[in-house]
Structure formats: structure tokens, C-alpha cells
Structure 1
Amino acid sequence: MTGAVVGAVLGLFAGALLRPAVARYAVPPGEPWGSCLPTPLGRCVRHGERTGPPPLAVEAVAAALGAALGGWAPGRWLPLLVWLALFGTVLGFVDAAVKRLPDALTLPLFLGTAVLVPLTDHRPAVWLRCALAAGVLGLLFLLLALLAPMGLGDAKLAPSLGAALALGGWRAVYGGLFYMWLVAGLWAVALLVLRRAGRRTELAFGPAMLLGTLAALLAAAHR
């Protein structure tokens, strides 16, 4: 319980620092990165205009992730999961806003994950499994991007998630894929019921990928 509370508080403060990154990268392709510095209430510091996600939305999500990690994540996985949570929060909001996962975020996420995986588990067999899972998920989502209505950004995000999932074994990798599509399906149904989307509406898949990965990793940690 104490870990969850501490994680929530740290996540809340982290969310305030992540909000400017969301505002910077949540721009359509071809446009320059945003330059406005938003407050937690979603107002630009310089101009006072409404910008970025709704007030306290980023902070609330970061706090929830912090509580989940602080309360349930194994200590040896925490550095990697915190890394994923920080980038994942920004990527999730950016993808939801403009349907893109910028290279400026997915590339450092992958590089950091590649460094943290060997530090998380020192067994070469686990490193090999993580590398294989990263390749498999990357190839899978690349094929989906070429053959289905899926973005290349999803394919660039997938290797990082595959490597993290493989820390929990192949069962966690399969579970992560299942949870990704489950979350996406439930979200799509909810939008249809609320009439916020139609059958042809393009939905961001990045948030579902990130939430599915978190769910599978937390489940693997307690098996």
C-alpha cells in the first residue's frame, strides 16, 4: 500500500513534467514541434490559450501508472518499467491526439530499453529471448502496417514493448498481444456506444499497445 501511494505521488509530479513533452510532440506530421509551455490546467504560460490534453489528464494518468508500478511491480523491473511508463505516457497522449508516434520518442525509448534489459536480468538466455521478442513484434507490426490500417509508428514502438514483455517469458509476450487487442476492442466499442466514433473512424492503437504491455507485465510479475 505504501509503495502505491509513493508511486502515485511521484507519478503526479512526473506528469507535470511530461505535459510539456506531450504539447511539443502532439502536432500533425509535417508541422514544427510545438513551443508552448503548458500548465497542468492546460493553458499556455506565455499566451494563456488552451493547449494540449485536458486539465490534469496527463498528471492523473502518470499518477495511476506510478501507483500500479509502486504497488505491484517487482523491484528488479522498476527501472525499465518506469522508463517505459515515462515515454509511454507521452506517446499515448500524442498518439491519441494526432494519430502518430514520433521517431523522436520511439527511438530513445528503444535505445534505453536495450540498455536496461541486460541490467534488469543478467542471464544471457533472457537477453536472447528479449531480442527475439523485439524482432518478432517489430516484424508483426510492420506487416500489419503494410497490409492493414496500422501505422509505421506502431511498428517502431513494438520492439521496445516486445523486449520488455519477454522479461516475463513467452507467455507474457502472448498475453501482451492479447491485452493489446482486448483494450483496443473495448475502447472501440465504448466509442461506438457513446457515438464518439463510427465504423470507419481511425483509432490510435499506441495507447492500447502500451496498456496491454503494462497489464501483461504486472500479471507476469505475480505468477
Structure 2
Amino acid sequence: MTTLVVLFCGLFGLAIGSFLNVVVWRVPRGESVVHPPSACPRCGHAIRSRDNVPVLSWLLLRGRCRDCGEPISRRYPTVELVTGLLFAAVGLWCGLSWALPAFLYLAGVSVALALIDLDTQRLPDVLVLPSYPVGLVLLTLASWNPGGAADFWALVRAVIGCLAMFGIYLLIVLVYPRGMGLGDVKLAGVLGLYLGWIGWGALVVGWFAAFLLGGVFGIALMSRGKAGRRTQIPFGPWMLLGAAVGLVAGQPVATWYLGLLT
């Protein structure tokens, strides 16, 4: 059963990755993600259905438009492949459970937000704000767990985590506005919702890991002369990566650390 779940999630992720390429390109420009259909930017021909198969179509076309030969960026199949692998990893981690839809949604929106932040240093409200009600509804379903034991304390913990992360990041912005933007604050609440649902250890480790990973990356850039103290570095991807660390390893890391103290 686990193998089937992972396979299904991986294939589903490939398809979602294809859609995320559209989201990443159009959302920052304020364009619709459903109309008009995708087309070659050079010749204007609409992308045929047979040329829209994730990864495979790019390989068969050798990375070029069928009609005019315009090169197609490697980024498109890369996003599709990474999303497919990420969804497969979520399927392996969650298994066939009511939590699976919630964390697949988080994985998908994380890919889109990370890429948009890297491209534009923005975290669009149109993606972040709907993640609050969507995440809350899906995590409520996971806490209810029809057919199994309910755990509504996890949902209470999720709301507390959401408020705590939002409040901490808002305080940071108020104290040091140059450090990050309000988009990071809004994203923090979404990540706190998911981290808190997993547990207190996940929440603390996920919060700390974002600053640790982002700090190490910033120091590495400065040491190589590619950034200065005033260089603006998108923090959203590090928040998302830190949250992933918290979700997967937060609880055991927190248990290990508390064991050292006692």
C-alpha cells in the first residue's frame, strides 16, 4: 500500500509541478493562471496536449518549441521533477492518512512561494492568505481522522503555533524592519499552523532552523564576496526549508536535546 501511495503522489506531483510553472510565472504579473492557455512566447502557438506531459515532453522535444524551435528553459522540467519527488516524499512520510492532503497542499504552495520569492523577493498574498483557511480545514480533517482516533488537541496546538509564529515574526519586523518583510510574517503564521499541529518540538526546531540555515547561507555568500551586510536575501525559501526540517526531524531533535539537559 505504501508503494502505491508514494507512486500516486509522485505522479500527481509531476502534474502539479507543471501547473506550478504557470503559477510562478503569472501570479507575480497579476495574470490569470487558467486563461489563456500556455503558449510559446516567441511564435505564440498554444502548447499541444501531447507536448504538455511533465518532464517527458521536454525530453522528447529536446528542450525546444515544436513550431519555432525556441529553447524551453530547463527550469520547467526541473520544477516538475522536484515537485514530483517532493510529493512522493510526503506520501512516504504521511502514508495513506487524512493528514496527506494537508501536507501535499503545503508542499505544492511551498514550491511556488520559494520560486516566486527567489525571482521577485515577494510572497504574494494571493497564495499565502488562502493557505490559512485551506490549511485549517485540511488539518481539522486530519485531527478528526474519520474512522480512527481523533486528536483535536493537535488542532488547538496548531492554532497556538500559528499565532506564536506570526507574533514572533511581526515583533522582529517591528524591531528591525530591514531584516524581513510583511510577506514573511504572513507566511510564518501558515508554517506555525503546520508545525504546531505536529508538536511543540517541531514548532521550535522549525523556527530555529530557518534562521540557522538562512544565516549560514548569508555568511557563505559574504565570505565569497557575493553579498554584503546590506544585501537583501529572500528569506521565504529558508523559512520553508526550516519548516521542512521541523516537520520531519523537529520532534526527535527536541527529545534528544531535552534528554541532554536532564
Scaled by the length of structure 1, what TM-score is found?
A: 0.82
Alignment of 1:63 with 2:63, yes or no, is no
Runs of 4+ residues over 6 Å off in structure 1 = 34-37, 47-53
Say which of 72, 81, 92 aligns to 2:93: 72
Corresponding residue for residue 170 of structure 2: 142
Write out per-residue CA displacement over residues 48-90 of structure 1, whole angstroms, 9 at most, x where no aligned residue. Answer: 8889993433223312312321222343421110111111111
Corresponding residue for residue 233 of structure 2: 203
Corresponding residue for residue 114 of structure 1: 136
Q: Aligned AA for 1:126?
A: A
**Greater CA deviation, 64-73 or 204-213?**
64-73
Write out per-residue CA displacement over residues 74-108 of structure 1, whole angstroms, 9 at most, x where no aligned residue. Answer: 43421110111111111111111111111111111
CA contact (8 A) 1:26 1:34 kept: no
Shift of 1:34: 7.6
Shift of 1:204: 0.8
Question: SS of the residue aligned with 2:130?
Answer: helix
CA distance in 1, matches of 2:196, 2:37: 37
Shift of 1:196: 3.7
CA contact (8 A) 1:165 1:172 kept: yes
Corresponding residue for residue 163 of structure 1: 193
Alignment of 1:81 with 2:109, yes or no, is no
Q: 1:16 to 1:168 in 2, by over 3 A?
A: same
Write out per-residue CA displacement over residues 129-173 of structure 1, whole angstroms, 9 at most, x where no aligned residue. Answer: 111111111111111222222110011111111111112211110
Q: Aligned AA for 1:54?
A: R
Give 1 or 2 for the bigger CA radius of gyration: 2
Q: Aligned AA for 1:176?
A: G
Shift of 1:33: 3.9
Unpaired runs of 5+ in structure 2?
Answer: 46-64, 145-150, 256-262
Corresponding residue for residue 16 of structure 1: 18
Shift of 1:4: 4.5
Unpaired runs of 5+ in structure 1?
Answer: none
Task: Calculate the aligned-residue CA RMSD, in Å.
Answer: 2.9
Corresponding residue for residue 152 of structure 2: 124
Matched pairs, number: 216
